[in-house]
Structure 1
Amino acid sequence: MSRRSTVPVLLSVMALALLVVLGYALLRPNGGSTGASLDAKVERGQIVPAADAERSMRSLTGGPSRSLADFRGKIVVLNFWASWCRPCEAEAPLLERAHRQLQRTGAGTVLGVTYNDLPDSSRGFVRKYGLSYPSLLDPGTAFAQQYGVRALPETFFLDREGRIRAIARGELTADFLNRSLKRAGYTAAKSTR
């Protein structure tokens, strides 16, 4: 084979290899646009059940292992967070107020899930911000991947049937929190400001 005919063959092989790698990244489970497609479905008002609701995860504080299924019949504000996340620090008091309000009315809970964080650091964060809502450990982020979590904080609002009604990718505001709680079926008169 001459040098002239080798170059096009090599370029073709390299292009094919690149297409295979890109195709795998986009089509593998939980790859590609999991988060974007989930967000689009929720925005269109499609019924999207919470992923992996039966997965049992250890409690950050040493209590019993829990799963989303344990909270069926309640509104759940599912928040992925880490101690090293500055926006997580900013929204922690807002989430705590929402949790206390949901608990006071018996309507639901905030449920934290740690993301790429050391358990001791996570526990320090809980103490620092006086968080009373349960937080679960997600070693390896397998649970977070089911929701397309890529950057923190990310929050999912689930209705009483365990369906995702709103998603916040980034720091929560009080207005978005209150609108999302309403979308999830919460009807209390007070806001969480």
Structure 2
Amino acid sequence: MRWKSCLTVAVYGALLVAGCGTQHSAPAVEPVPGHMAPGFSLKALNDGGKTISLNDLTHNDKPILLNAFASWCEPCQQETPDLVRMASKYAGKIQFVGVNMTQDDSAKDVDTFVKKFGIKYPVLSDPNGDFMNEYDISGFPTTFLLNSKGKVISVHLGALTEQQLQAMITQALGK
């Protein structure tokens, strides 16, 4: 019985290093670099409640940075200030979009998270786990960089450092 406890601790410890873990079913199309990202249509929690789709974002002709997070996730909280800073710095050049991944988060929890970090970019809600399944999210945070047409450029599992985020942006802008 004791080995089960140790195994549980080891698994949770590994998830904390990479990010906050989750379980879900496999996607129909995996969002991997070089392939088109799966479509989505989700309600914005902080942008007037409008529905935003991948199709809407690709009509803006700018690269898209999708950050899948959970408000209770410590690594998500650690990377958010850098995301907010970079979203401001690269406004008009890259579209930043957050996707809250958990059904457990109440609207109040996410609203508190958005206000605490001063998030100005759209934060979408995935109440049924559709985005999580389609994008094959295995832990939080997970960040997807898409080109302006919706093709996956890169995927990062776990919290991004400021340098990693800058490298993704540089890659997206082709500099």
Aligned to 1:30: 27
- Per-residue deviation, 1:186: 5.0
Q: Gapped runs of 5+ residues in structure 2?
A: 1-24
Aligned to 1:68: 54
Aligned to 2:142: 154
Aligned to 1:99: 87
Letter in 1 for 2:152: I
Structure 2 counterparts to residues 1-193 of structure 1, below 5 A: 30=27, 38=31, 41-42=32-33, 47-52=34-39, 55-61=40-46, 62-72=48-58, 73-103=61-91, 106-116=92-102, 117-187=105-175
Q: Distance in 2 between matches of 1:70 and 1:126?
A: 22
Q: Distance in 2 between matches of 1:29 and 1:51?
A: 13
Structure 1's 174 and 142: CA in aligned 2 closer, same or farther, altered over 3 A?
same
TM-score by length of 1: 0.70
Identity of aligned residues (%): 32
CA RMSD of aligned residues (A): 1.9
Runs of 4+ in 1 over 4 A off after TM superposition: none
Structure 1's 29 and 87: CA in aligned 2 closer, same or farther, altered over 3 A?
closer
Q: Gapped runs of 5+ residues in structure 1?
A: 1-27, 188-193
- Per-residue deviation, 1:182: 2.3
TM-score by length of 2: 0.76
Letter in 1 for 2:135: Y
- Per-residue deviation, 1:127: 0.6
| Aligned pairs, number | 146
Which protein shows a greater Rg?
1
Structure 1's 68 and 102: CA in aligned 2 closer, same or farther, altered over 3 A?
farther
Q: Distance in 1 between matches of 2:73 and 2:45?
A: 17
- Per-residue deviation, 1:147: 1.2
- Per-residue deviation, 1:183: 2.2
Structure with the bigger percentage of strand: 2
Letter in 1 for 2:50: P
- Per-residue deviation, 1:29: 5.2
Q: Note if contact 1:160-1:184 (Cα within 8 Å) is conserved in structure 2.
A: no
Letter in 1 for 2:43: R
Q: Distance in 1 between matches of 2:50 and 2:139?
A: 28
Q: Note if contact 1:75-1:186 (Cα within 8 Å) is conserved in structure 2.
A: no
Aligned to 1:20: none
